[in-house]
Structure 1
């Protein structure tokens, strides 16, 4: 509870209006802000017995709780004042002042027992305030304690042992106001505690009278093993007595002032922190739940059950502990996971660490988790969140990989659009470029767990394009082969033609040579004859 939220004055916690008990929203909102352990001191007693004066003193104030000097009862219901505990650092003192029991103005006193019961159920120290002496009349006025077993239950068991109440009930303090007797027995001085023990001593016998005498005493012994008594002499005398609550300490009897200080000192020193079954410490929000649970039971006609109140408290606190643990898990996962993770194992290892921390958070803030119901719920929710993070990891990886693939394969896609592979052999060139880009993609870091699947998904989406390039390549290659074959045939025909022409020319030359030779042969006889004649002539000349 922040310092600026300390209450400057008490406010109504449970209103008692026309016999109907109502929890005030403003008060429970204050309780909801108190994270410290609370020491709860409640006071009850007949109206006009000075209860509010003692509670104001415990608050360290001269005024606050409703005071009055007339016979009119002022406090209706239960009023609350939360102040820093004067002796216990980091604790809050919650003071509960109740309406006067036996108020004649109410006419119907049926709610007196409920006010009494609520004061017992909510407090860690229960103060009963009375006037005069502890006599039979005072005991008769304390008949509310005998009705507790008919008004309050410890558990839902059909047969209940009333001795269990002692484990749940607060310490008991009886304050006796305007005590004028001497604290002596047989002329020997006694303490106020010895005086109380003597007043609570049981009578022997079995008569109805003895039973009625013993009943309230037995209940006090049974329910409140730790008892304390304080006596207060009259604070002043005469007409000032009715106004003593408004007087300064210097105007009051010194013994009364000292006795009040002793009472306050004891309460500060010995009042315990409020706990519930299992030793669970109560803070503001837990006290709020107890108030709401008990009043709801009373207004619905049920008996307040302490076990049910603790279960209701456990239900709310354990649900809150589950949410706190889940919040811790979410925050830690978001801090530690860098999406996408390279492997699923990396993510699961981080999850395992965060899951362990979240479980520790739950165990720290939970209690009375019967059959580990809430811890099992937590584990189920953590599994669901783990799966959500795994799905997120998959999606983040897939998205990252898609962006990367678009970037890496953009030149290839542009080449396809521009027809770079629409030529004979283009398909092989396309496959070569594609493989180079796949290798480049595989070398990129931080792709995550969807790297291969996203690649295959991308490649599959481009299969039609690859097939088109392949078919185009096949068609273009077949046409090129036909052209080459035709060119080869033409070249062969041309070569044959040239060869034929050369053969024809050679043959013509041979024929010409042959003709020339024949012609030469034809001329040989004439030349021979001429040569013979020439030689004949030479010979004649010689001879």
Structure 2
């Protein structure tokens, strides 16, 4: 369905589950998760069978896509989504939301319609309200959903007892576009021509007085004026003959009424040029990923029987986004490290790779994070990156140690064999052992010159040979002493042999 981050056709975004409760479809959520660029969100709402979907298809630059339907039954169920590259804003995605037609008597669930309308308001940059005929009191009474917004949406988590939230809505609500279809009147006030915007604002004028009828008359008008700072109106003539209306998707532009086509193009250009990037309280820009999370936060509030609160939603969204930002940034850091690090290696080179990877990870975190004003999550990320780096440094030491030990075993094999076959246990063996130890140590150092654990491994090895060295020295000294003693004995023996014999005394008999 998605190709290069965009979709070839709409998918269901929000629907009713088997229990009749609203839920966000995983397929749509996954598509939004892949959109890390800012989004401009345009929703269309209105009574069923008023041609809402056709305008959305035009905005997508397509003839077909959102289901138009040709029967009296509401065609679109829930909210459907279509993500396309924004025609005018590079690096932005245009997200089109087509809502279920309001007021379908076959559904018999007025509250469901209210929540669909509220979600369209909460998720949009621009809200297009589609109606047929004219803007009169009947049309405004059918837009009663707008009068219920203060009951079904809260801006702040805590509202004072006498505090009116209405003023807060105008700062966070989308722009409002009223599309009047099959409009047959002339745009005039008296004898003077007026614009479609003048027509809308005239219809929203309030009556003076405080009677119940006047209050009822003013209520939807006041809400539209108080909640939506930017208001725009387009009036569309009938697009084609009644017979052709049932096959709108099949009609070519040549088969459409030229004035309708001209107004449809004007409408599309207005939306492209004037619909702003979706933001939330505090002016923070929303990406596709954040939009999916935001939808889940609002839908979960509705499922739980709570009133969606923009302030709470921003807090929830921040937590969701920032946890994800830490995970994605850390994953990038670890991937960069493992792709570039070849253990064992020079610590300075490892430090350079770490610094570059850390910088890239922070950039990813910043692009995904949301409202981390106190840098709590960024500090958490830096701590995790530090831990990963320390582990990598330890692995580098371990790898170096293993490599040095392999070289050491190879180099000192001659020495070990000499010890084993007692080659050094003879006079002069100690000096021979010392000379061999020095010679092999130099050879080992030459082969492990670039290793950080070279000296540590050698030092440990030499320490283990101290007892053997002492033993060889003692043996050497003992052998030398024994040999010296033997030499002394031999010398004494030879000296005794050379000494002349003494003359024995003569004894004679008496004469």
- Give your verdict on TM over 0.5: yes
Q: Hey, what's the Cα distance between the residues in 2 that align with 1:480 and 1:386?
A: 61
In the alignment, which residue of structure 2 is the partner of 1:16? 16
CA contact under 8 A between 1:22 and 1:295: conserved in structure 2?
yes
Q: What is the SS of the residue equivalent to 1:469?
A: helix
Q: Do the aligned partners of residues 491 and 76 (structure 1) sit closer, same or farther apart at CA in structure 2, a change above 3 Å counting? A: same
Q: What is the SS of the residue equivalent to 1:233?
A: coil
**Residue pairs, 1:303-342, within 5 angstroms:** 303-334=307-338, 339-340=343-344
Give 1:331 deviation, angstroms. Answer: 4.6
Q: Hey, what's the Cα distance between the residues in 2 that align with 1:40 and 1:364?
A: 19
Q: Hey, what's the Cα distance between the residues in 2 that align with 1:140 and 1:147?
A: 12
Q: Hey, what's the Cα distance between the residues in 1 that align with 2:54 and 2:496?
A: 135
Matched, 1:295 2:296: no
Q: What is the SS of the residue equivalent to 2:101?
A: coil
Q: Hey, what's the Cα distance between the residues in 1 that align with 2:206 and 2:471?
A: 109
Q: Hey, what's the Cα distance between the residues in 1 that align with 2:8 and 2:414?
A: 76
CA contact under 8 A between 1:75 and 1:99: conserved in structure 2?
yes
Q: Do the aligned partners of residues 226 and 349 (structure 1) sit closer, same or farther apart at CA in structure 2, a change above 3 Å counting? A: same
CA contact under 8 A between 1:333 and 1:351: conserved in structure 2?
yes
Give 1:139 deviation, angstroms. Answer: 1.4
Q: Hey, what's the Cα distance between the residues in 1 that align with 2:141 and 2:111?
A: 16
In the alignment, which residue of structure 2 is the partner of 1:399? 402
Q: Hey, what's the Cα distance between the residues in 2 that align with 1:240 and 1:359?
A: 57
In the alignment, which residue of structure 2 is the partner of 1:48? 49
Q: Hey, what's the Cα distance between the residues in 1 that align with 2:242 and 2:360?
A: 68
* Structure 1 length-normalised TM: 0.83
In the alignment, which residue of structure 2 is the partner of 1:170? 174
Task: Name the stretch that deviates more: 282-291 or 309-318.
Answer: 309-318
In the alignment, which residue of structure 1 is the partner of 2:384? 381
In the alignment, which residue of structure 2 is the partner of 1:197? 201
Q: Hey, what's the Cα distance between the residues in 2 that align with 1:409 and 1:191?
A: 97
CA contact under 8 A between 1:44 and 1:116: conserved in structure 2?
yes
Q: Do the aligned partners of residues 244 and 413 (structure 1) sit closer, same or farther apart at CA in structure 2, a change above 3 Å counting? A: closer
Task: Name the stretch that deviates more: 479-488 or 318-327.
Answer: 318-327
Unaligned runs of at least 5 residues, structure 1:
512-543
CA contact under 8 A between 1:273 and 1:282: conserved in structure 2?
yes
**What's the C-alpha RMSD, in Å, of the aligned pairs?**
3.0
CA contact under 8 A between 2:36 and 2:368: conserved in structure 1?
no
Q: Do the aligned partners of residues 304 and 34 (structure 1) sit closer, same or farther apart at CA in structure 2, a change above 3 Å counting? A: same
Task: Name the stretch that deviates more: 411-420 or 360-369.
Answer: 360-369
CA contact under 8 A between 2:2 and 2:8: conserved in structure 1?
no
Q: Hey, what's the Cα distance between the residues in 2 that align with 1:60 and 1:364?
A: 29
Q: Hey, what's the Cα distance between the residues in 2 that align with 1:171 and 1:157?
A: 25
Cα deviation, 1:414-441, whole Å, max 9, x if unaligned, reads: 2222322111232233223223333444
Give 1:237 deviation, angstroms. Answer: 4.9
Q: What is the SS of the residue equivalent to 1:370?
A: coil
Q: What is the SS of the residue equivalent to 1:129?
A: strand
Matched, 1:188 2:211: no
* Structure 2 length-normalised TM: 0.88
Task: Name the stretch that deviates more: 118-127 or 356-365.
Answer: 356-365
Q: Hey, what's the Cα distance between the residues in 2 that align with 1:410 and 1:280?
A: 68
Cα deviation, 1:325-372, whole Å, max 9, x if unaligned, reads: 334433554566664456x67755664555445434433443311321
Q: Do the aligned partners of residues 211 and 230 (structure 1) sit closer, same or farther apart at CA in structure 2, a change above 3 Å counting? A: same
Q: Flag the structure with higher helix content.
A: 1
**Residue pairs, 1:467-506, within 5 angstroms:** 467-496=470-499, 499-500=500-501
Q: What is the SS of the residue equivalent to 1:40?
A: strand
Give 1:250 deviation, angstroms. Answer: 3.8
Would you say how many aligned residue pairs link Structure 1 and Structure 2? Answer: 502
Q: Hey, what's the Cα distance between the residues in 2 that align with 1:243 and 1:358?
A: 52
Q: Hey, what's the Cα distance between the residues in 1 that align with 2:9 and 2:353?
A: 51
Q: Hey, what's the Cα distance between the residues in 1 that align with 2:339 and 2:259?
A: 65
In the alignment, which residue of structure 2 is the partner of 1:371? 374
In the alignment, which residue of structure 1 is the partner of 2:79? 78
Q: What is the SS of the residue equivalent to 2:375?
A: helix
Q: Hey, what's the Cα distance between the residues in 1 that align with 2:118 and 2:96?
A: 16
In the alignment, which residue of structure 2 is the partner of 1:134? 135
Q: Do the aligned partners of residues 184 and 375 (structure 1) sit closer, same or farther apart at CA in structure 2, a change above 3 Å counting? A: same
Give 1:473 deviation, angstroms. Answer: 2.3
Q: Do the aligned partners of residues 371 and 237 (structure 1) sit closer, same or farther apart at CA in structure 2, a change above 3 Å counting? A: same
Unaligned runs of at least 5 residues, structure 2:
507-511
Task: Name the stretch that deviates more: 403-412 or 469-478.
Answer: 469-478
